[in-house]
Structure 1
């Protein structure tokens, strides 16, 4: 525990130092410092690392809110990117930053919200919070959990991490490999239920939000959507609009600071680009649109035909399923191996990994010019999402209070 405690303190100190130079780190520090935790009794506590995990766990959150409208729900986030966007969600009675994982903080926080049940999505394993819940006999569930052999839980030095796992009441897992890895540790309290993201994106695709300005921009033409892109992605994608002048292109960058947006604008052909914040009533003359806000992407895909998902030239690709649910074949960079759905979509020939500009142009040209190939890929990817729904129903059958 000594090393764990030192690690937590060092992490906090590093973020504190970084906060003098980085706005996101400042939010991380100040948000925790300034928040006041309200008192609840027998609440349901949901914790999410960030925005992606919130959307992943949202089907369970919505189901509990619907079935038990009088039950208080408390949501916590680790990251500002989740908290700042969802701090006013009507699905929760209170939204907080998760206080740093210390024995004192865990005790005080759980004393305040008095959870009758805690639900963590995918990952985020905190020793003191889990231990405190365990001591108080509060059921703790992991939903859409996934484990890989290279994780610290399965290393010789991961003793404290394995101890954390023993505090979990039940694991709801994405795949059989995760269940086997837990079984190898002597943990049998696991069910392969699938990934609740499929339920979330499928529901979203059945009831897409209307975006009149996007419809006006589209103007009946085919649209290539580049979602959650980073500069490495954008350098490659910037070559496509000139090759396909009959198509329209929408970029939704992962970071939307003025500096990042302007850098993207400078990469693209002049005179053809408009930012979403600058769209007027008549905007169909533009061929490239840059989304300079957060929160639209999952609805944007309803207006697209092909999607590129960013992040594959960095730590890993972002959410492919939001686009897949609308039947958009997806293209992404080479760092996708830790994402089960990406590997499965490649096997179906409905998802495509590229490593350079030539490969991007090759698959884009095939999808744009070969109608039969495109049609098959589109049908396969939509069917794939539909066939993987059902995790929410299985989980709720077990945890419904």
Structure 2
């Protein structure tokens, strides 16, 4: 139940670009080989700011999933699904809203920041205020212990940890908990129970983080424990009650180094993107017409790669030999700007070639995408229903 599990999602904004690939998708592809992963389309999240544009969400969602699959996300290794098709997200969101202090939501850094940026949109809505809580519900419903985020998203993960801690504190203490936990310890066997007790004492008395991790590993590996025994011993280990919701950790990812065609961050709002499945000729044209060092007016003028947006692409797509050729050729006017751009064109097209091949299957057979999402929904729903059964029982609204 508390096995390692990664969860991440993206809002459906339509087709993705190279910034999304280098910033998120390449990391997802790596993670799916290391952990059980759940990747979801955050369509309800899209409504927190695009509530007046509902007609675009469905098509955008499908286009985005095709891009995921094209990038190498494997539906055999990762669970891919749409948020709104697993209604337990909304139920947990509602129940957690009963215990979430209003001040916690108002202090989330992006709350006022987004309001200031999106001045054309009325964001004084309940849904926008509560979107960090919905985000927490997305994580907690799957008891995911790893959430890949950039540094700017770490406060959201910490918010989720505090929320899980608050829920477990309010609802996790069952009558006779400590006696029941000691009974559960016996099921570890004599040696296992002794080791668990020693590790628990080291953690609680000295704050020994290594002891905490060893004890968690012991519980993960113990075959003799029922789900209920395991819940109790996780809670007993950390000095709380029965652990119902799992506190997630932030899996820090590097910020995308992918620049836009104009040197700014690659973004649709700047109109400087290359899409993941863009036509080859369009890519060639975009890169050939990229702006370069403004001081290099004529072919015979020397340039400075550090002042040229094309150089930022070389840092991603070129090896050391090509980079040295660019630095020397540009500064001496030994190569022209079109010469400099050709290795970048070759690098982008080479990167996208397997993506186009994978995408073709789904573009020609849209039903395959729907089948993948349906299978993902079923797998995600099983996990979500398990969590909600425990949550309802803890709160006291289980009538089974």
Query: Whose helix fraction is larger, Structure 1's or Structure 2's?
Result: 2
What TM-score, normalized by structure 2, do the two folds share? 0.25
Bigger Rg over Cα: 2
Query: Whose strand fraction is larger, Structure 1's or Structure 2's?
Result: 1
Higher relative contact order (CA 8 A, sep 6+): 2
